[in-house]
Chains A and B, each alone.
Chain A
Amino acid sequence: MLDKRVIEDVLYAALSRGGDFAEVFVEDKYNGSMKMVGGILESSISGRDYGVGIRIFDKYNSIYAYTNDSSRENLIKVAKEAAQALKEGQRDISLNLMKASFSDYNPIKILPSSIAKKEKLDLIKMGYEAAKGYDEVISQVTVSYMEEEQKVLIANTEGVLAEDTRVRTRYAVQSVAAKDGEMQVGHYAPGASMGYEFYDKVDVREVAREASRIAKVAVHADYCPSGNMPVIIDNEFGGVLFHEACGHALEAEFVSKETSAFANKLGQLVASPLVTAIDDGTIKNAWGTTNIDDEGTPTQRNVLIENGVLKSYLIDKLNGRRMGMASTGSGRRQSYKFAPTSRMNNTFIAAGDSTLEEMIANTEYGLYAKKLGGGSVNPATGDFNFAVLEGYIIQNGKILKPVRGATLIGNGVKVLELIDMVGNNLELGQGMCGASSGSVPASVGQPSIRVKSLTVGGRKEK
């Protein structure tokens, strides 16, 4: 993607006024997307993201610069401009860039860009019709098709020279159900680090029907009662609970500045002993899997919490320096426009041995949150919130009725201690995770779990 000699010259230029580490990140990414609204293919867009990011460390300080112009002359100019931010100094470095080798966790069979647009259009129509035809209450359907092929080259003064291609595919359906002047939305969007062969595995009609099913349940549901109650959170995307409530606070960006509730707690009991949580960047073809992170470090399987005991954080190079700890292969960024920081890949709570049926049967009164929407967290306080897309009230150990418009709020540290049942049905769901280094694909996951007590925000009193 960029000549080795040019990379070396840029790295030398970056350290021309001091600094103790320099890195070059080159990105050349093809994006394709198509969107159908109301049966009409409204847009089809493709394009190329292209640019170079240059980073310099001087102990704990970091300088970052990026540009679209990858000519040798411009890159050296940008590197020298970036170096101007350092106090005067000089460093003699000798570079020996070695091509890195690493495992391929994301084997790709069919590049999406090699498939004719007509075929993709048929695939989109198929989902649209399945979603629209699901029930007469479905008033509007949007189907989005997404493909990307991201080539990256990462080189640094530690001698790393790594190149990789990341292919990702995603299919999203949003269904709107309308009844008596009210509208409710259902959404489902599976994705993978796979090529077009993803559609051999995933039936888009099932994806579409799932989105419509959620919308239909919601439009027939009553408003959710509010208050504190036991909450059963179902598997798959329910893992956004752990992602928001705890995952972000385990990122070195917050731990290194001790602004995380989990700082200085390695080896301590921080959760119910039923909880084991893992971030694994190596799961074959998973949405959040990469072979190397965006700093060129091979990804790995990081056990974060084992039987309730805090075992590891998610660490990138810069924050690792501050903490005196090695990278866990967790340095990620949206694109060359962002300096990387510690992020999650595929994060999940490991399976336990309860069943969902047992959990419901053992709950006198509570909420069964079958599908969660997105959420957010304040990593310093651990306070989190997320939306329930599909929920049911449980009474006397049985599902009573669907409810809508619920929000779950709580505190990450506390909620981990309050998990009192962990199911045996672990699944992963896919999402886009936003933070200071941009929006990156990440899997969340868990089996069904029960939290003894959470604040449920709704519009009715109990």
Chain B
Amino acid sequence: MDYRRFLNRLIDRAQGRMENSEAFLVKNKELQIGVYKGEITKYSIAESGGLSLRGSYEGKMGYSYTEKIDDSSIDTLVHDAIENGRYVEGSEDEVIFSGSESYEDIDHYNEALNRVENSEKIDFLLKLEKEAYSLDDKVFAVSACDYHEFEGERYILNSLGLDLKDKFNGAFTYISVVVKDGDDTKTGLSYRVFKDFYTLDYRKMAKEAVDNAISMLGAKEVKSGNYPIVFENTSFANLLAAFSPIFSSDNVQKGLSLLKGKIGEEIAVPILNIVDDPFLKDGFASRNFDDEGTASTFNKLIDNGKLVGLLYNWKTANKEGVKSTGNASRSYKGSMGISPSNLYVVNGDTEIEDLLYLANGGLYINNLEGLHSGLNPVSGDFSLSASGFLIKDGQLHRPVNQITIAGNLYELFKDILAIGNDLKFTIPSNGYIGSPSILIKSLAVAGE
């Protein structure tokens, strides 16, 4: 199907009734493979997509969508978008965008990934699983050994002449092992997010997962109290990801972020820098334009401890008379929102060994649970189930689990003592979030 011709037909038809209209089409391809005990137990292939129409009718912006992408859907899309817009209020600031003056021309599609044979991927998983079993007698099961690959195409076409298209791909793989020592059961995970298949090293991944699990055997609580905390890079990145809505101008305008009125103020220690970088090489949220068709831009959010920026789309930008930062984000099922691209804490200059020495008697946290429930992005409060190690004399002394750590993000920003130089990103979801390891002066720990 020639999607551009089809989308032009849709816009033509919509313009018969609407003042302005825009089509947003996403096409996805996915591959998932899973192995268990030497056999391929999961193999999934998919091609799918969705189409959204948004348009203004009597000055009101309405949305509709469908996954049945053919001419039979056009009339319903136009009718439903008008009906949906009828009662919507406050949409005056939401406009259809005619396009930026220029766009970066970075290719986010790695042709080489596309050329890897499926048999190579299966072979990789089988070796990965076998390696994990071979490393230690305590490995009781490999509960997941999976490969996911995705490829997406995005089309934005509107009545103001905007006509953009891009394509991206990527993959991730992970292994989760269960180890047992008597009644003591622990799990360990290792994952890689990549665009180049040949960077994968199954031996390293298997060892990481098994080491992670084995190192937790015998873990127990620590006494309740306040402890210095070193967050391992991805743990802090996960925490930051859960709190990333605070940087959305939409949440700030609605009074759902405590950053309201804080631009220019020192909200963190001077060593903290947080940026949103849509051009990060091999970043999984890298892009040349956002979901409104605005050219992406590099943005500093926290600069040497000072709040200097927020993330905008055109609707929130127009409310304040500023420009969109190119962070408009949506799915074809939803209305225009805001999300970060590659958002991360910039590397500091402290070596990990030094972080551990500085945190004597504290805890090294490498796993946080309950991030979708145990924190409040509005107030900044969090209380999370955690595990990791007790630190003694710069070493990981013994494993710790069944504890919670609690605090408040805004207080934590001011209690950062040192920032590592080991920036790492989490598995991509809503944006691609990264951080180096970070030492916090003190957080409340509940245990014994």
Contact = CB atoms under 8 A, between A and B. Distances in A.
Do these two chains really belong together in a complex? yes
Interface string B425-448: 000000000000000000011111
A228 B221 CA distance: 11
A43 B370 contact: no
Interface stretch (B81-89, B97-105, B286-294): B81-89
Interface in B28-67: 36, 39-49, 52, 62-67
Contacts, number: 240
A68 B68 contact: yes
Given A62-B42, A227-B224, A458-B444, A411 B402 contact: yes
A407 B43 contact: no
Which secondary structure dominates where chain A touches chain B? strand
B369 interface: yes
B185 interface: yes
B65 A40 contact: no
Interface in A253-280: 254, 257-259, 261
Given A48-B66, A185-B379, A459-B444, 12 more contacts: A45-B335, A47-B64, A47-B66, A48-B76, A61-B39, A66-B48, A67-B47, A182-B379, A184-B379, A381-B185, A383-B385, A409-B402
A63 B369 contact: no
Contact of A47 (B48, B65, B369): B65
Give the interface centre of B44, B47, B76, B140 by most chain A CB atoms within 10 Å. Answer: B44
Interface stretch (A89-97, A304-312, A372-380): A372-380
A67 B369 CA distance: 34
A140 B379 CA distance: 13
A395 interface: no
A302 B53 CA distance: 44
17 contacts: A44-B86, A45-B63, A45-B65, A46-B64, A49-B67, A50-B67, A62-B42, A117-B87, A183-B376, A259-B178, A261-B185, A380-B178, A386-B370, A409-B385, A455-B403, A457-B406, A459-B407
A45 B65 CA distance: 8
Interface of A: 31, 37-38, 40-51, 60-69, 78, 81-82, 85, 117-118, 121, 139-140, 176, 178, 181-185, 223-224, 226-228, 254, 257-259, 261, 337, 339, 373-376, 378, 380-381, 383-387, 404-407, 409-411, 455-462
Contacts of A31: 333
Contacts of A386: 370, 373-374
Interface residues of B, number: 74
A65 B76 CA distance: 28
4 closest A-B pairs by CB: A457-B404, A226-B446, A385-B385, A47-B65
Contacts of A380: 141, 143, 178, 185, 187
B242 interface: no
A462 to B, nearest CB: 8
Given A48-B66, A50-B66, A226 B406 contact: yes
B41 A62 contact: yes
A459 B334 CA distance: 37
B113 interface: no
